Amino acid sequence: MKRIAFYLSLVLVVLVLASCKKGQKNLFTPTSSGRPYEVLVVVNKPVWDRPAGRALFDVLDTNVPGLPQAERSFRISNVDPQHFDRVLKIFRNIIIVDIQDIYTQPKLKFSRDVYASPQMIMTIQAPNEDEFEEFVAKNSKVIIDFFVKAEMNRQIALLKQKHSDVISTKVGSIFDCDIWVPVELANYKEGKDFLWASTNRATADMNFVMYSYPYTDKDTFTKDYFIHKRDSVMKANIPGEREGMYMATDSMFVDVEDIVVKGEYAQEARGLWEMEGDMMGGPFVSHARVDRANGRVVVVEAFIYSPDKLKRNLMRQMEASLYTLRLPNESLIDEIVISGNIPEEKIDTTSRVK
């Protein structure tokens, strides 16, 4: 009996180690620490205090776009390499500053789930501090987008496990699409080719809107067309408390950008919404995508009403939902591509934290 128990234990250990070699999370993988949008920079203190370190700090400390008040992109901590111990190695987002004259040019690389899961570690290499400073400033958007998308992928993983089945069903029946939104969005309103779901809170109120229209105009993906279409849809479907009140777009604070979602073109718009005739307002972000099979544009939008609270995490939580939109006959892709042109370094994770 003891021999059987021994062999069963041995088989279990082999299976776990095999899983570990494949880079998958297993019984020996610690859960990463830290809060969402928190980054730990591993860097020599003298470098951190000089222009090279300040350049990296300034990149991470930039404001989140599209919010009515200034909020930083990340919460930043730093540690000297000699103090980068097993406690800090399980941090969720890590940047390692590697400045040595053995390198001929600056470069970025990343690895995932090295000491914990989920975890992203970016290494920034450079031959000297001057080139490091210039390289970081030039690649500021790449660095920010990398960690923002890493956090959104974590949110998408949570949504995959738990999302509003009610809203998914409604999206399926109205648009023949699928999407994952937080389960807290329990209230909804339907219209013609329109759906609005909300938490219906007095503050920290999260909202999701989806609408579609025929793709017939060559100017569909211009800023002016977007604002005009959004205003007409919102005025018809999201009225205020009293007659004459309706949601509108603050046209002075709208930015549009061409992005790629699931390998296809999409238009991303960020800005501020306001309630005409009232004092309400807040940030929004939307994706407009082409449903070629049905000759239409499908728009998904998240907006927040939270006048007395910070909005960064709420907005990014909702923005992650937009990436889960699945058009008719589209395959399920439940992760945003985050690497871009940054090479991934595969690291043997069998030893884990040391």
Q: What is the 3-state secondary structure (H, E, C) of 160-181?
A: HHCCCHHHHHHHHHHHCCECCC
Res 350: pLDDT: 59
Q: State the Cα angle at 276 between 271 and 278, rounded to 5°.
A: 105
Res 335: pLDDT: 84
Q: State the Cα angle at 209 between 206 and 214, rounded to 5°.
A: 165
Res 337: pLDDT: 86
Interval 91-112: pLDDT, tens: 999 999 999 999 999 999 999 9
Query: Which residues are 124's β-sheet partners?
Result: 97, 108
Res 60: pLDDT: 98
- Residues 317, 182 contacting (CB under 8 angstroms): yes
Give me the domains of the chain, ranges plus CATH numbers. 29-158 (3.30.379), 163-322 (3.40.1000.10)
Which stretches in the chain have pLDDT values below 70? 1-27, 339-340, 348-354
Res 68: pLDDT: 94
